[in-house]
A and B are shown apart, each in its own frame.
Chain A
Amino acid sequence: MDYEVIFTNIHLYIEGLWVTIQLVFLSLVCGFVLALPIALLAICRSPWIQIFPKTYIYFFRGTPLLVQMFLIYHGMGQFEFVRESVIWIVFKEAYWCALIAFALNTAGYTAEILRGTIEQTPFGDFEAARACGMSKSTMYRRIILPGTFRRALPAYGNETIFMLHGSALAGVVTIVDLFGAAKVVNSRHFVPFESFITAGFFYFCLTFIIVSLFKKLEFRWNAHLRPRKV
């Protein structure tokens, strides 16, 4: 075992860690903002409206994240009209390509989580809200969505961790994230075990932080379900 090369290259890992955190955080935020309207459209009864969110969800859950990222990174670069247009400023950068792929992908999964949870809202919640004379939007804002977020929390925690691990794919398109850093160290010093176990250790720490964050959130949001102190 040769951990000296890890310590001399630790700055690469730290920079990679920062890129990973940025990518995951931004894609989760964008993904969630995108997922909410998709989920709300998906619970509409009209099949004409449903077709859009359903297609979106099917597409992003039906293809691997790596394929989606290659389509955006390599696929977009193939077309002359994309390269000539203004949007090339965005697609030119590997970072934005990865971010777009991640955000669109996690939006698909998150939308499905939210749709399922909204549909499982106890009917009593709707009834009570209507009995109070709430309009549809007020009802969703005050009753349905807060309840949904609360119940969707464990599933969304899972999605967050999947997104973190999925972000390792960024290393495939020249981005030096945590995994990218490990690849650089490995290919320079030929120490695959040490370089990848170090990346694994950092991912492990990040997962630990995410898990404890969600634990805290669950504790707060489900306060009313805790046994009361007498």
Chain B
Amino acid sequence: MKKLITLTLLVLFTFTSNVSANEWDKIRIGVEGAYPPFSSIEKDGTLKGFDIDIARALCEEIGAECVLVPQDWDGIIPALLARKYDAIIASMSITEERKKKVAFSEKYYNTPAKFARKKGSGIIISKAGMKGKTVGVQRATIHDNFITAEFGDSVNIKRYGTQDEAYLDAIAGRIDLLLADSIAMDEGFLKTDKGKGWEFVGPGYSDPKYFGVGAGIAVRKNERELAKLFSLAIKVIRANGVYHRINGKYFAFDVY
């Protein structure tokens, strides 16, 4: 094992010294900042979360300076294409639709999606059980695509700019169900004080048709080299324990 790590590091070292050290001494990374525990903005304005730590660790591995740029989810791909930053590390699932516009690295984590309901509401996850109910999702996410395609004809869908806004309306009682990433919802809502009155319901969804193959790092299509660099760096931090350490900071099990 040790040999393998040294070998990978060696490969990476030669790789970076050839490519990145020249081209990428500074990488600007687009992050969201409203998706706890993956990415959130602290009271003092600093960024915090799994995505943020992973971004920093990957930059360090590549040997480049990391500049984090917070950006609303709605405009996160257009801003990448407009060169406001060079990569997106914002829990973005690798889907076919997005691949038309951007290139992805390998996945850096993959967790299923789940519904949550208000405790005591007794809503059952089926077309009949959800008829006429209002489901809150974040706009233009895999969850939005899934609910629109599979349940669009029987439920009302409310689409939010950020996941946090969906939680706000869930607390206010404007929506009956939430559909989101199970980990994000568990850590960012259900386990917090605000989410006390809510609980998971139904199975975990991970159909690649809607949910892709996990969250990856998006780059512009003409810069696939950078995506490869990230893929390699992901492998390295998986192997050298950095990923494990970051993972342990936020989750009780391995989200890879």
Tell me the A residues contacting B by CB distance below 8 Å: 74, 77-78, 83, 88, 92-94, 172, 174, 176, 183-184, 186-188, 190, 192
Contacts and interface: CB of A to CB of B under 8 A. Distances in A.
B159 interface: yes
B174 A190 contact: no
B139 A183 contact: yes
B207 to A, nearest CB: 19
Contacts of A77: 168-169, 171-174
Contacts of A94: 158, 174
Determine the main DSSP class of A at the interface with B.
helix
Contact of B140 (A88, A176, A188): A188
A215 B222 CA distance: 53
B45 interface: no
B202 interface: no
Interface in B109-126: none
Nearest to B173: A83
Nearest to A193: B78
A174 B78 contact: no
A92 B173 contact: yes
B74 to A, nearest CB: 5
A174 B140 contact: no
* Pairs A-B, 3 closest by C-beta atoms: A77-B172, A187-B140, A190-B77
B151 interface: no
Interface of B: 73-75, 77-78, 81, 97, 101, 139-140, 158-161, 168-169, 171-174
Contacts of A172: 161
Contact of B73 (A88, A92, A187, A192): A187
Given A92-B172, A174-B160, A183-B139, 11 more contacts: A77-B172, A77-B173, A77-B174, A83-B172, A176-B159, A184-B139, A186-B78, A187-B73, A188-B140, A190-B78, A192-B75
B135 to A, nearest CB: 12
Contacts of A83: 172-173
Contacts of B172: 74, 77-78, 83, 92
Nearest to B72: A187
B168 A174 contact: no
15 contacts: A77-B168, A77-B171, A83-B173, A88-B173, A174-B158, A174-B160, A183-B74, A184-B139, A184-B159, A186-B78, A187-B73, A187-B139, A190-B77, A190-B81, A192-B75
A77 to B, nearest CB: 3
Contacts of B75: 186, 192
A174 B173 contact: no
B43 to A, nearest CB: 18
Contacts of B97: 188
A57 B31 CA distance: 41
A78 B171 CA distance: 8
Contacts of A176: 159
B174 A184 contact: no
Nearest to A185: B140
Nearest to A88: B173
Contacts of A88: 173
B159 to A, nearest CB: 6
Contacts of A184: 139-140, 159
Contact of B78 (A74, A78, A92, A192): A192
A77 B169 CA distance: 8
Highest count of chain A CB atoms <10 Å: which of B73, B77, B101, B140: B140
